[in-house]
Amino acid sequence: MIIRTFANTNCVRFCLSLLLAAFTVQSGSVSAHHAFSAQYDADAPVTFTGVVVKVDWLNPHAYFYVDVEDPATGKVTTWACELGSPVSMQRQGWKREDLVIGDTLEVQGSKARDGSASMSASAVVIESTGQRLFSRQPLKTETSTP
C-alpha cells in the first residue's frame, strides 16, 4: 500500500510538471502574438522600393528588412517588413531563398500604428525577376510612399 501511494504521488507530480511546462511554453508564444489591427493600420497603405539587408525566417512571423532611400533628402531608412508564419508563407509559394540580401524589392503593405518604419507586407515584387509574392490579401486602396 505504501509503495502504491508513493508511485501514485510521483506520477501525479510528474504529470503536473509536464502540464506546467506545456502551459509555460504555450503562454509565451500566445502572449508574443498580436492582432493585425493592434499593430498595423489597414487605412495607412504604403509602397516603397528598397534593398534587402536582412531576412529572419522565424516563428511566429517571418521578417525582412529593407533599406529605403528618400529621394528628396537621400536619407536611408531601414524598414522592418512583417510577413506571416514561415509555414503559411511556404503554403503561398514562398521559399526562404526567395529574398536574398542585396535584392531590390517593391513592397506594399500597411504601416505600423506607432509611426515606426515597420509594416505588415502584403505583396512583394522582386525587381530582378519580376516575381510577385503575396503575404496577405493585397491592398485594394491607393498606396503612398513612406
Question: Average pLDDT for residues 13-17, to the nearest whole number?
Answer: 58
Backbone φ and ψ of 89, nearest 5°: -65, -40
Is the pLDDT reported for residue 70 higher than 70?
yes
Whole-number Cα distances in Å, 123 to 41, 52, 61, 88, 92? 16, 15, 15, 14, 12
Is the pLDDT reported for residue 4 higher than 80?
no
What distance in Å separates the CA atoms of residue 40 and residue 79, rounded to the nearest whole number? 14
Residue 134 or residue 7, greater confidence: 134
Which one-letter amino acid corresponds to residue 83?
Answer: L
Is the pLDDT reported for residue 22 higher than 70?
no
Backbone φ and ψ of 18, nearest 5°: -65, -45
**What letter would DSSP give residue 6?**
H
Q: Which span out of 68-77, 81-90, 131-140 was modeled with the highest average pLDDT?
A: 68-77
Q: What Rg do the C-alpha atoms of the chain give, in angstroms?
A: 22
pLDDT value, residue 23: 42
pTM above 0.75, yes or no: no
pLDDT tens sequence across 74-115: 999 999 999 988 898 888 888 888 899 999 999 999 999 999
pLDDT tens sequence across 30-66: 444 557 777 899 999 999 999 999 999 988 889 999 9
Res. 139 pLDDT band, cuts 50 70 90: very low
**Residue 96: how many other CB atoms lie within 10 Å:** 11
